[in-house]
C-alpha cells in the first residue's frame, strides 16, 4: 500500500490520473505491470485497475446495489447474464463496507461517507490488480477511515491512495510518496518520509514526531500556535500599525 501525500495542489490527483490513464503526462511514461500504460485498451485497463475518485458522480439514478454491480462490467460481455455467484459477490462486498441495509436505496440519497463506501464496494467487485483511491477517507468518520483503509489493505492487491491525514497514512501505508509543487520529495517507508524536517519543509508546519505506542510507526503532533505571529502582523498592518510593536500573545488575542 502506497500513500501519496503532499500539500494542496502538489499534484497528488494529477499523478493518480496519469496512472489510471485519465490524463497523459507531458513528460515521462507510465508503466503498468511491465507494459506501457498507453498500450492497454480501456476495457483491459478496467480489468486491472479500479479507481475511487475524489468527486463522486451524483447524477446516477440507480440503487446502491446496482452501483456495486457495475463493478462487474469489465468482466462481462453484452450477452452475459447475472449469475447467483455475481449476486453473492455483490452482497459480500456490500457487507464488507457495512451497507447491506442500504442495498435498495437510491445511490444519490446516501450520505457522503456511505457513497464513498459504496464506491469502494464497487471497486472490490471489479477484482482489480491495482486499486487507486483519491482521498478515500474524505467524508468518512474516524471509524470508517480506519475500517476502509484496513479493508483495502486486506484485499492483498496493490493500493495507491492519496491521503491528507499524515497519521493515518503513517499507520496504514507500507510506503509513502511525498510530493511538493509537482516534484517528488521522498519515497520510502513512513519512518523515513515523516520526519519533522520534511514536514516543516513541505507543509510549512512545525511538529514533533514520536512513535505510536501500539505499532511504533511515526506519530505526528502538530504545534498549533505557529501562525499566530503571522496573523497578528497582518491584523496590525490592516490597522496601520507596525507589526514589530506586537508584545505578547495576550495582546494578539485582544485583537
User: Counting contacts by CB under 6 A, is residue 74 touching ligand ATP?
Assistant: no
Q: Which residues contact 165 (CB under 8 A, 6 or more apart)?
A: 137, 145
Taking alpha carbons only, the member of 109, 180, 117 closest to residue 146 is 117
Q: Assess 137 for contact with ligand ATP (CB under 6 A).
A: no
Q: If binding is defined by CB under 6 A, does position 11 make contact with ligand ATP?
A: yes
Handedness of CA 145, 150, 153, 156 (dihedral sign): negative
Decide if residue 96 touches ligand ATP (CB under 6 A).
Answer: no
Q: Check binding of 8 to ligand ATP (CB under 6 A).
A: yes
The least distance separating ligand ATP from the CB of residue 8, rounded to whole angstroms, comes to: 3
* Region near ligand ATP per CB under 6 A, out of 9-17, 125-133, 192-200, 206-214: 9-17
**DSSP code at position 144:** H
d(CA 127, CA 241): 62
Q: How far is CA 17 from CA 36, 222, 236, in A?
A: 15, 31, 43
Q: Closest separation between CB of residue 112 and ligand ATP, Å?
A: 16
Collapsing DSSP to helix, strand or coil, 188 comes out as: strand
26 binds ligand ATP (CB under 6 A): no
Per-residue CA distances from 76 to 45, 69, 79 (Å): 14, 11, 8
Smallest gap from residue 66 Cβ to ligand ATP (A) = 29
When asked if residue 10 is in the footprint of ligand ATP (CB under 6 A), the reply is: yes
Q: Confirm or reject binding of residue 102 to ligand ATP (CB under 6 A).
A: no
Only segment of 10-18, 35-43, 199-207, 246-254 that touches ligand ATP (CB under 6 A): 10-18
Work out how close the CB of 36 gets to ligand ATP at its nearest, in angstroms, rounded to a whole number.
22
52 part of the interface to ligand ATP, by CB under 6 A: no
- CB 49, CB 123: distance < 8 Å: no
Residues in contact with ligand ATP, counted by CB under 6 A, come to a total of 8
Q: According to the binding rule CB under 6 A, does residue 13 interact with ligand ATP? A: yes
Pairwise CA distance, residues 160 & 55, whole Å: 17
Per rule CB under 6 A, is residue 14 in the interface with ligand ATP?
A: yes
Q: 210 near 219, Cβ under 8 Å? A: yes
Give residues in contact with ligand ATP (CB under 6 A): 6, 8-14
Amino acid at each position: 500500500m502506497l500513500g501519496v501525500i503532499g500539500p494542496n495542489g502538489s499534484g497528488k490527483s494529477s499523478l493518480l490520473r496519469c496512472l489510471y490513464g485519465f490524463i497523459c503526462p507531458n513528460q515521462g511514461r507510465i508503466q503498468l505491470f511491465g507494459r506501457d500504460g498507453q498500450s492497454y485498451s480501456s476495457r483491459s485497463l478496467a480489468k486491472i485497475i479500479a479507481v475511487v475518485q475524489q468527486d463522486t458522480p451524483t447524477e446516477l439514478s440507480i440503487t446502491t446495489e446496482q452501483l456495486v454491480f457495475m463493478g462487474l462490467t469489465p468482466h462481462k460481455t453484452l450477452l452475459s447474464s447475472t449469475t447467483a455467484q455475481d449476486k453473492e459477490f455483490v452482497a459480500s462486498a456490500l457487507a464488507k463496507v457495512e451497507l447491506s441495509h442500504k442495498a435498495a436505496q437510491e445511490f444519490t440519497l446516501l450520505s457522503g461517507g456511505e457513497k464513498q463506501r459504496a464506491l469502494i464496494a464497487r471497486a472490490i467487485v471489479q477484482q482489480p490488480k491495482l486499486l487507486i483511491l483519491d482521498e478515500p477517507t474524505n467524508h468518512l468518520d474516524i471509524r470508517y477511515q480506519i475500517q476502509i483503509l484496513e479493508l483495502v489493505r486486506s484485499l492483498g492487491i496493490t493500493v495507491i491512495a492519496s491521503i491528507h491525514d499524515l497519521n493515518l497514512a503513517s499507520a496504514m501505508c507500507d510506503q509513502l510518496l511525498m510530493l511538493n509543487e509537482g516534484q517528488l520529495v521522498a519515497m520510502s517507508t513512513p519512518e523515513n518520509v515523516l520526519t519533522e524536517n520534511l514536514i516543516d519543509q513541505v507543509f510549512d508546519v512545525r511538529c514533533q514526531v514520536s512513535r505510536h505506542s501500539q505499532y511504533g510507526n511515526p506519530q505526528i503532533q502538530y504545534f498549533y500556535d505557529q501562525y499566530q505571529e503571522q496573523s497578528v502582523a497582518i491584523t496590525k498592518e490592516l490597522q496601520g500599525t507596525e507589526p514589530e510593536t506586537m508584545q505578547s500573545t495576550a495582546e494578539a488575542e485582544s485583537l
